[in-house]
A = this chain, B = another copy of it.
Amino acid sequence: MKPTTLKDIAKTLGISVTTVSKALKDYADVSPKTKAQVKELAEKLNYVPNSFAVGLRKKQSKTIGVIIPTMVHYFFSSILDAILKEAESKNYMVIILQSNEDYELEKKQVDLLLNKGVDGILISLSNNTKDFKHLQKIIDYNVPLILFDKIAKLIQCSKVYIDDRQAAYNAVSYLIKKGHKRISHFRGNLNPQNSIDRFLGYKKALEDHGIPFDPKLVYICDNNSDFSDGYLNAKKLIEDHGENVDAIFTVNDLLAIGAINYFNEQGIKIPDEIALFGFSNWFMASVITPTLSSIDQNAYKMGETSAVLLFDEIDCKLKNIPITHKKVVIDTELVIRNSC
């Protein structure tokens, strides 16, 4: 069975293709009777308008693009969930691309999306993106762009992110108030802004509470597997400091979970001998033993806010209303569980 065309409908009803097209679009110069006949037949024959043609005519593709660093990740899945639901409610489709933390790929994907004529783009930058010409290109093409989570401060567009420094500060302050004084930090690699900001929040919390910063308590976890990085650095931490460490604040939950596995194996008691605080509040944090305290980043809210902003900007553009870029900071929350 071939797809039904306007021509098929016109032929069957003995009217012109133009009339059929006008009837489907509810033009005033077609009689209600003809409109009803056309619509009924279109329904019966499963007529589907060609949306590429519609896209060309309206200069709208009703499609947006999203680039994320990685797909298999609880935080990004939750963000995508929100974006898809928001797009669904606006009858938009979503093209999803993953950059695999590869700057060259991210750049290529921006071109693909521009090429595709998407109505707007959402990006969370790869950890290796240091040059932002590809983002400027999106802006130059007058395509609405929202950066979320991993953003570029200097690019002129709307941004949705959390205050990583403050969140880390809150978590470490909590550990200090619980009586911990020798607090280690398992940080991410040196480049991404959120890794830097979480480290700075950790440092500032120590400083504000009169605890000297000891660089020997900071471990850089820059391998590909956070879980085994957490496990191995926990081992190293105990070898290096023995009982002279009483808590760890990790840059993400998976590092903490790796460390918990090591401590459980060694019979090192959590939180009595060592307390742990993670970051991101993955679902996993609530089901391991002991359950892990963490910082909830409100991923769903971040995805939803980003999508709402994008659709607002697309709408402004269609109506020729000037766009005002916004910076939205999503609230984070300390989730206290048994690990501290």
A residues lining the B interface (CB < 8 Å): 1-3, 46, 48-53, 55-56, 61, 63, 70-74, 77-78, 80-81, 84-85, 88, 91, 93-98, 105, 111-117, 137, 140-142, 227, 257-258, 261, 264, 283-284, 287-289
Q: Pick from B85, B97, B111: contact of A48, CB below 8 A.
A: B111
Contact check, A81 vs B71: say whether CB atoms are below 8 A apart.
yes
Q: Are A95 and B97 in contact (CB under 8 A)?
A: no
CA–CA, A94 and B288, complex, Å = 35
In the complex the two chains form, what is the Cα distance from A49 to B112 in whole Å? 10
Find the B residue at minimum CB distance from A290: B289
A96 CA to B97 CA in the complex, in Å? 10
Q: Which residues of B contact A141 (CB under 8 A)?
A: 1, 3, 48
In angstroms, Cα B1 to Cα A137, docked, is 9
Q: In the complex where A56-B56, A77-B71, A289-B264 touch, is A96 in contact with B98 (Cβ < 8 A)?
A: no
User: How many copies of the polypeptide does the oligomer hold?
Assistant: 2
Contact of A117 among B50, B283, B288 (CB under 8 A): B50
Of the candidates B84, B85, B112, the one whose C-beta lies within 8 Å of that of A96 is B84
A244 to chain B, nearest CB (A): 26
- Whether the Cβ atoms of A94 and B93 lie closer than 8 Å is no
A-B CB proximity, top 4 nearest: A1-B140, A71-B81, A72-B77, A289-B289
Which residues of chain B come closer than 8 Å to A113, judged between CB atoms? 93
